[in-house]
Structure 1
Amino acid sequence: MILILISPRNAGLPFADWLDEERGRLLAVTARGTDPGPGFLDVEQVADYTDDTAVRDAARRLRERHDITRVLALAEVDVERAAALRAELDVPGQRPDSARAYRDKVLMKERAAAGGVRVPAFAPVRDETEVLAFMAAHPGPVVVKPRDGSGSTGVAVLDGPADVPSVADQVRSGGHEVEEFVAGRFHHVDALHVDGEPVVSVPSAYTDGGCLSHWTDSGNGSWTLEADDPLHARLTEQTQRLIAALPPAPALFVHAEFFVTDTREIVLCEVAGRVGGTPIPAMLRIVLGLDPRELWSRIECGLPVDLDAVRAHARSAPLVANFGLPPRDGRVTRVPEQPPAGTTDFTVLTDVGEDWSGERYRNRKSGDFVATWLVTARTEGDLLARVAKSEAEAEAGFGWALTAEVSP
């Protein structure tokens, strides 16, 4: 039987449809109050899904009642949990050494650099004195981030030593790194490898600001590069080199991020051993011909997939852009009544009255959106023009009672 770890952020995904051969025999661990959907034979729920011990103990209780042959996880928080359970149950799939390398940004960069991938100068840090020492050795802005973070949560850009006190408590809490700030255009590559061989690679460029755009309440997204763009081949090659540098797994779906500097040098930002977050799956569905999470779920669970059809679809697909609007510091007063012209998959992810202010706003992630959509075209120029037009229309459809406007 297949055990699926279902993060609350992945609630509602149609696992029974994706894994139809196993419908009615699926097992799940999820958060209390989360409906895993149809097709599950047995479910364990935990009060706190951030508690690793609770999630693993719930999986062990399922193991006592059922024969588990595969473990599936789609969320970043579950990557290492799933790997540990596979090792414990002795079932196929990524194991802890590989999973850790795709989560720990220090270990990741050490292995990448040893494999010939250009990485920024970096160091693990435990207190503000180590951050200051790094800044003295590497003049200029630096980035402080959690070693195992995701979605740009906890990331801080420091322009100089005077900014260090602002992250002192964060760094002393443990598990952080500092690295040099790399100026350049931000890109991502979404790639599937099976049995050590590349199946498909989709290089894309982020809009200005990339995954940090939400810091300024700006919309952000990305678009697939044209096949004859020289960066397409170079980013694909770097991703393959990166995967070869990290500990292997029977199959991998990775979301890698790179900076491309003004001198066209490609520098690793980080890589995740999972499908990229919203709205990237919708974009990749246009390229691959099916939802990448379905593709990955079937591969991870040992079910048949026509990889040649995936390759062929990727070769003939149009250019596609995804875009999303982040929340504001306030309450939603109006949502769009209709999609912007020329878009597909327009999805409003909020309701009138929803409050994004206070701590929720401060802790927002780069993947937190109030609306997302797709745009397609055959040339990059047409694609980007359509993205800009759709952003303006979607933004005009929202209304906000901003905290700054209603505070006394």
Structure 2
Amino acid sequence: MILILISPRNAGLPFARWLGEERGRLLAVTADGVDPGPGFLAVERVADYTDDTAVHDAVRRLRAHHDVTRVLALAEVDVERAAGLREELGLPGQRPESARAYRDKVLMKEYARAGGIRVPAFAPVHDEAEVLAFMAAHPGPVVVKPRDGSGSTGVAVLHRPEDARAVAERVRSGGHEAEEFVTGRFCHVDALHVGGEFVVSVPSVYTDGGCLSHWTDSGNGSWTLEAGDPLHARLVEETRRLVTALPPAPALFVHAEFFVTEAEEIILCEIAGRVGGTPIPAMLNAVLGLDPRELWSRIECGLPVDLEAVADRARSAPLVANFGLPPRNGRITRVPGQPPAGTQDFTVLARAGDDWGGARYRDRKSGDFVATWLVTARTEGELLARVAKSEAEAEAGFGWESAAEVSR
């Protein structure tokens, strides 16, 4: 039977449809209050899904009554959990050595550097003194972030030595790294790697600000590169070299991020061993002809997939852009009544009355949006013009009451 670890952020995904052959035989571990949907034979829930011990105990309760033959995990928080379970049960798929390298940003850069990949200067940091020492050795802005974070959570950009005080407490809690700030175009490559070969690689460019745009309440997204763009082939090759440099797995769906400097040098930001977060799946769906999470789920669970058809579809797909509007510090008073002209898959992810103030706003991730959508075109110029127009229309459709106004 297939065991699925379902993070609350993945609640509502149609696993029973994606894994139709196994409908009625699926097992799940998820959080209290989460409905995994139809098709599950047994479900175990935990009060705190961030508690590794609780999740593993829930798995053991399921194993006491059911034979687990595959483990599926789509969320970043579950990558290492799933790998550990496969190791423990002797099941196919990514194992802990590989999973850790795709999560630990220090370890992944060590592997990448050893494999000839250009990486920023970096170092693990455990206290304010180590942050200050790194800043002294590397003049200019410095990034401090969790070694196993995702969605830009916990990321800080330090410009002056006194800025280090703001991150001192979190750094002392463990698991952080410092790295030099790299300027340039911010790109990502989403690629499926099966049996030692790349089935498909989709290079894209983030809009200005990339994953940090939400810090300024700015919308952000990315668009697929034209096949004839010289950067397209270079990013595909760099991703191939990067995956080769890291510990292998039988199959991987990776989301790699790179900086491309003014001198056209490609520098690694980081790579994740999972499908990219919202709204990238919708963009890849338009490129591949099916949801990449469905594609990856079937491969991970040993179910048949026509990989040749997926590759053919990707080669003939139009240019696609994804875009999303982040929440603001306040309460939503109005949501758009209709999609902006020329958009596809326009999805409003909030309701009038939703409050994004306080801790919710402070803890927001780069993948938290109030609306997402797609735009397609045959040329880059046309695509970006449509993105700009749709952003303005979508933004105008929302009304916000600021946190200060809400608290009065």
TM-score by length of 2: 0.99
The one-letter code sitting in structure 2 at the alignment partner of 1:284 is: L
Counterpart Cα distance in 2 of 1:310 and 1:131: 45
Counterpart Cα distance in 2 of 1:404 and 1:340: 30
Counterpart Cα distance in 1 of 2:163 and 2:285: 42
Aligned to 1:385: 385
Q: Deviations over 1:9-55 (max 9, x none)?
A: 00100000000000000000000110000000011111110000111
Q: Considering only aligned residues, what root-mean-square deviation do their CA atoms show, in Å?
A: 0.6
Preserved CA contact (<8 Å) 2:288 2:311: yes
Aligned to 1:216: 216
Counterpart Cα distance in 2 of 1:322 and 1:314: 16
Aligned to 1:226: 226
Aligned to 2:114: 114
Counterpart Cα distance in 1 of 2:398 and 2:372: 13
- Ranges in structure 1 where 5+ consecutive residues have no aligned partner: none
SS at match of 1:65: coil
Structure 1 residue 405 displacement after superposition = 4.0
Aligned to 1:186: 186
Structure 1 residue 403 displacement after superposition = 1.4
Counterpart Cα distance in 2 of 1:202 and 1:388: 22
What fraction of aligned residue pairs are identical, expressed as a percent?
A: 83
Structure 1 residue 404 displacement after superposition = 3.4
Check if 1:123 corresponds to 2:123: yes
The one-letter code sitting in structure 2 at the alignment partner of 1:315 is: R
Q: Deviations over 1:40-94 (max 9, x none)?
A: 0011111110000111111111111111100000000000000000001111000
Aligned to 1:198: 198
Aligned to 1:164: 164
| Superposed counterparts of 1:295-306, under 5 Å | 295-306=295-306
The one-letter code sitting in structure 2 at the alignment partner of 1:108 is: M
Count of aligned pairs: 408
Aligned to 2:78: 78
Structure 1 residue 406 displacement after superposition = 4.5
Runs of 4 or more, structure 1, over 3 Å off, are 404-408
Counterpart Cα distance in 1 of 2:180 and 2:246: 22
SS at match of 1:190: strand
| Superposed counterparts of 1:7-406, under 5 Å | 7-406=7-406
Counterpart Cα distance in 2 of 1:349 and 1:182: 32
Counterpart Cα distance in 2 of 1:89 and 1:173: 32
The one-letter code sitting in structure 2 at the alignment partner of 1:182 is: V
Preserved CA contact (<8 Å) 2:331 2:406: no
Preserved CA contact (<8 Å) 2:211 2:366: yes
The one-letter code sitting in structure 2 at the alignment partner of 1:353 is: G
Counterpart Cα distance in 1 of 2:124 and 2:304: 42
Counterpart Cα distance in 2 of 1:189 and 1:56: 32
Counterpart Cα distance in 2 of 1:399 and 1:253: 38
Structure 1 residue 305 displacement after superposition = 0.3
The one-letter code sitting in structure 1 at the alignment partner of 2:308 is: D
The one-letter code sitting in structure 2 at the alignment partner of 1:237 is: E
Counterpart Cα distance in 2 of 1:190 and 1:341: 28
SS at match of 2:64: helix
Q: Deviations over 1:365-386 (max 9, x none)?
A: 0000000000000000000000
Counterpart Cα distance in 2 of 1:105 and 1:400: 37
